[in-house]
Amino acid sequence: MPAPAVLAFLFGALSPPILEVATGADTEFAAGRAPLAVGLKEVNSTSITLVPGLGLRLQDPTQSIAVSYTPRLFYRLPNQFGVDRPLVLHQVSLEHASDLDRRSKWATRAELSAGEVEGSRGS
């Protein structure tokens, strides 16, 4: 339960915070000729990438904290390892910004990615 305590500490003594929510998606479809790996012969292939996203931001006049989740789903046919399912890469971002005084601002960002990308060995 440290997250609620941190949020309470960050926003406790300040004016009521505003919560913002954002969603979206990005998609790409490609078809053509490409090698499955470096040094191999080109073959006909298609690929699709889908990146949906969800973000939350809590802010007041002097600081904000935001978190976002954007999984990346990628499918290529044919592919290097013969995997017959989309590859999934989970991506999470956490940001905090605070005005220290009228001329100074502190910003911190952490990102984490875990999963599979093209070229990684799927199970």
Euclidean distance between CA atoms 63 and 88, whole angstroms: 33
Q: In total, how many domains does the chain have? A: 1
Q: Is 123 a residue whose pLDDT tops 50?
A: no
In a domain, 46, yes or no: yes
- Whether residue 41 contacts residue 96, with contact meaning beta carbons closer than 8 Å, is answered with no
In a domain, 93, yes or no: yes
Q: For 94, phi and psi rounded to 5 degrees?
A: -130, 130
Q: Which domain holds residue 37?
A: 22-115
Euclidean distance between CA atoms 64 and 34, whole angstroms: 44
In a domain, 80, yes or no: yes
Q: Is 87 a residue whose pLDDT tops 60?
A: yes
CA 70 to chain centre: 4
pLDDT, one tens digit per residue, over 22-33 is 999 999 999 999
